[in-house]
Amino acid sequence: MALRDVNLTIDKGEMAFLTGPSGAGKTTLFRMISAYDRPTSGAVSVAGFNLANLKSFEVPQFRRRIGVVYQDFRLLKKHTIFENVALPLEVRGDASGIVTKKVAEVLEQVGLAHRQGDKPEQLSGGEQQRVAIARALIHQPAVLIADEPTGNLDPQLSLEIMELFEKVNAQGTTVFIATHDVEIVRRKGKRVIEINQGQIIRGQ
């Protein structure tokens, strides 16, 4: 059991950071609130869905309402950057004209407009990370959950990405970011939740 007695509420439209040492349980918590793992006990409510009693057919409905940046990116290796970023729109059946336009927009925002036709393996770690960020944002999710989204980026790029997240947050998306980057956390002055050994020790 990687999490114990976690009791946490993040308000709609809020932007919060999750920090803590490696192995503290940040990713575990994110898996819980993004319907990656089914909660074994307790109640988890995100974007109006009660994840503890989520029916199988509701799982995709819920996942379309949130945007997730996975710590290990989870890009489709055999697909192009375009196809990777288009995924959240493709699975809900958006028209191809809209998809093309939105993919171009969001890739522009992360500075990768020129790499649409490449495969993930042709990109650097930081570039892949930005593809994952673009994919998490393209469908304007109600909640953005980003696990270590700037871990592979240089300080300048990290700042730009954080500004992008603030912009998205200003448009109404709830943003929850796990990070080790104390400098960024300090500069942004947002709510910080600290976790250690599966327990929240600050910011509850």
| Distance in angstroms (rounded) separating the CA atoms of residues 139 and 144 | 11
Instruction: Kindly tell me which of 2 and 47 has the beta carbon lying closer to ligand ATP.
Output: 2
Q: From the centroid of its chain, how far is CA 149?
A: 7
- What are the DSSP calls for 95-127, one per residue? -HHHHHHHHHHHHHHTT-GGGTTS-GGGS-HHH
Residue 2 as a binder of ligand ATP (CB under 6 A): the answer is: yes
| Pairing, β 45-46 against β 191-196 | unpaired
The amino acid at residue 134 is A
**Kind plus residue range of the DSSP H or E element containing 148:** none
Instruction: Kindly tell me which of 28 and 80 has the beta carbon lying closer to ligand ATP.
Output: 28
In the list Mg ion, another protein, ligand ATP, none, the entry touching 22 (Cβ below 5 to 8 angstroms by class) is ligand ATP
| Distance in angstroms (rounded) separating the CA atoms of residues 117 and 79 | 9
Residues that bind another protein (CB under 8 A): 34-38, 54-61, 63-64, 68, 70, 74-78, 87-88, 90-92, 96, 135
Instruction: Kindly tell me which of 20 and 120 has the beta carbon lying closer to another protein.
Output: 120
Could you tell me which of 46, 43, 16 has the C-alpha nearest to residue 33? 46
Stretch that binds ligand ATP, among 6-14, 17-25, 111-119, 166-174 (CB under 6 A): 17-25
In the list ligand ATP, Mg ion, another protein, none, the entry touching 42 (Cβ below 5 to 8 angstroms by class) is none
Binding string, 42-71, against ligand ATP, x = CB under 6 A? -----------------------------x
Residues that bind ligand ATP (CB under 6 A): 2, 20, 22-28, 71
